[in-house]
Amino acid sequence: MRSLANIFWLAGKEVKSVLGDPVMVVLILWSFIIAVILEAGGAGDTVYNAAIAIVDEDGSSLTRQIAAALEPPWFQPPLAMTPAGAAAAMDAGRIMFALGFPPGFEADTIAGLAPVAQLQVDATAVSQAQLGSGYIAEIVDAEARAFLTGNPDAPQPALQLELRRAFNPAGHPAWFEAVSSLLNQLSLLTIVLTGAAMLREREQGTIEHLMVMPLSPLEVALAKVLANVGVVLAAFTLSLVFVVQGLLDVPVKGSVGLLLAGTAVYLAAAAAIGMFLGTMARSMAQFALLSIMVIIPIIMLSGGMGAIESQPDLVQRVTLALPSRHFLAFAKAVVFRGAGLGTVWVQLALMGGLGLAFFAASLALFRRSMSLAA
C-alpha cells in the first residue's frame, strides 16, 4: 500500500512538471492538433510487393494468363482463393487486393460481351489501393488484348473491370493518414517525455534526493512511466474525439474503449523505450541523438509510411520487435474494420510482452545507474 502511495505522489509530481513546462505543452498541442491535420492531408505511396488473391471461377487460359502477369516487384505471387476465403483474408488484413473472374469469363471475352472482372480492394492503405487498382486494370486490359489479338497494344476489347473498395469506399486519404499520424505523435512524444524526465532528474541534481528517500527504483520508474502515459493518453483521446473524428470526420467502426486500451498498452511500451534511452544517455545532446536513431525507424518501419509487405524480408522480421508495428495493425483493425478483442488480442499480447521486456531492461539499467551514483 505504501508503494502505491509513493508511485501516486511521484506520478503527480511528474504530471505537474510536464504541464508546468510551456514548451512541453506547446509541443503536445502541436503534435496532436496541427501535426495530425497536416499529415492527414498528405499521401505518398508506391505499390510494391502487394498481397493479391485470385478468385478464379472460370479456370480458363485467359484468367491464368492474367494471374501470371501479376508478378513481382509490384505484387506478390497471387494466392488462389475461394470467394469466402478471399473475404476472410481481406478482413484479417492478409491481402490488399482480390481479383475475381466469374464463370464463362473467357468465352464472353471472345464473344465481345463485355464480361466483368471484380476487383476488391482494402482501401485502408489509400495510396497503394489507388495506384494498385490502376496497375491491375492496365494488366487485365493488356492481357485480354494479347489473348484476343496476340498484341497487347491492340485496341481495347469490350472488357470492364469493376472496382469495389473495402473499409474506405470513397478512398479518403485522410482516414489512413490520420491514424498513422497519431501513431507517429504517440511514439515521438512518449519516448521524448519519458526520456527527458529521466535526464531532468540527473541534470537538476534531484536524483540524489530520490536516492536518500525510502523509494525503490521500481517505484521511481513506474511513476515516470505512468505519469507520461497518462498525459499522452489524455492528449490522444482529445485528439481522437475532436480532431480525427470531429474535424477530419474519420469514422471509428470499432470500440473506442478497446482502441484506448490498446493505446495505453502501446504507450507503456514506448515509455519503457524512452526510459531506457534516458537512462543510457548522459546529457540531453546524447539523448537527442539516441532518440533520432530510435524514433525514425519506429515510425518508418511501423507500416504507416509503406506496407510491411513492401519491406525486405530481413527488415520485416526486425519489425516484429517493434511495438509500433503491432499497434498500427491493431489500430487499423479496430478503426477501419470494426475488429473486436477476439481479433486483435494477438497484437495486444505482443505489445504487452515487448513493453514488459523493454521495461525490465530499462529498470535493470536504471538500478545500475542509481547504484553507481551512490
* Residue 182 and residue 158 share a domain: no
* Residue 62 and residue 36 share a domain: no
Does residue 45 belong to any structural domain of this protein? no
Report phi then psi at 81, rounded to 5.
-140, 160
Give the pLDDT band of residue 257 (cuts 50, 70, 90): very high
Percent of the chain whose predicted confidence (pLDDT) is above 70 = 86
* Residue 353 and residue 274 share a domain: yes
When the pLDDT of each residue in the chain is averaged and rounded to a whole number, the result is: 82
* Tally of domains in the chain: 2
Percent of the chain whose predicted confidence (pLDDT) is above 90 = 17
Residue at which a domain ends, from 166, 197, 231: 166
Task: Using the predicted structure, report yes or no on whether residue 350 has a pLDDT greater than 90.
Answer: yes
Predicted confidence (pLDDT) per residue in 105-154, tens digit: 888 888 878 788 899 998 877 777 788 888 888 888 888 888 877 666 55
Chain centroid, CA 253 distance in Å? 17
Residue at which a domain ends, from 111, 146, 166: 166
Instruction: Give one DSSP letter per residue of 291-325, joined into a string.
Output: HHHHHHHHHHTTTSSS-GGGS-HHHHHHHTT-HHH
Q: Which residue has the cell 492531408?
A: 41
Q: Of 66, 60, 164, whose CA–CA distance to 103 is shortest?
A: 60
Task: Using the predicted structure, report yes or no on whether residue 45 has a pLDDT greater than 60.
Answer: no
* Residue 362 and residue 226 share a domain: yes
Does residue 140 belong to any structural domain of this protein? yes
* Residue 349 and residue 238 share a domain: yes
Which CATH number goes with the domain that contains 139?
3.40.1710.10
Peptide bond into 83 cis (omega under 30): no
DSSP state of 252: -
* Residue 197 and residue 117 share a domain: no
* Residue 203 and residue 219 share a domain: yes
* Residue 188 and residue 94 share a domain: no
For the chain, what percentages of helix, strand and coil (3-state, to nearest 5) are there? 70, 5, 25
Q: In angstroms, rounded to a whole number, what is the distance separating the alpha carbons of residues 254 and 165? A: 18
Give the pLDDT band of residue 212 (cuts 50, 70, 90): low
* Residue 340 and residue 234 share a domain: yes
Q: Which domain holds residue 136?
A: 52-166
Does residue 7 belong to any structural domain of this protein? yes
Residues in CB range of 252: below 8 A, 6 or more apart: 240, 245, 259, 334, 335
Residue at which a domain ends, from 166, 198, 231: 166
Does residue 47 belong to any structural domain of this protein? no
More confident residue, 159 or 222: 222
* Residue 109 and residue 257 share a domain: no
Give the pLDDT band of residue 81 (cuts 50, 70, 90): very high
pLDDT of residue 157: 57
